[in-house]
Amino acid sequence: MLTLTQSGNQVKLSGQLDFDSVAEQLRNPSIRFDVGDLSVDLCEISRFNSASLALLLEWMKMAQQKGAQIKYHNAPDQLMAIARAYGLDHELPLTSA
Report pLDDT digits (tens) over 59-92.
Answer: 999 999 999 999 999 999 989 999 999 999 888 9
Cα dist. 70→1, 11, 20, 79 in Å? 23, 10, 23, 17
35 Ramachandran zone, left/alpha/beta (phi>0; psi -120 to 50): alpha
pLDDT tens-digit map of 8-49? 999 999 999 999 999 999 999 999 999 999 999 999 999 899
User: What's the pLDDT at 61?
Assistant: 95
pLDDT at 97 over 80: no
Cα–Cα dist 79/9, whole Å: 23
| Whole-structure pTM value | 0.92
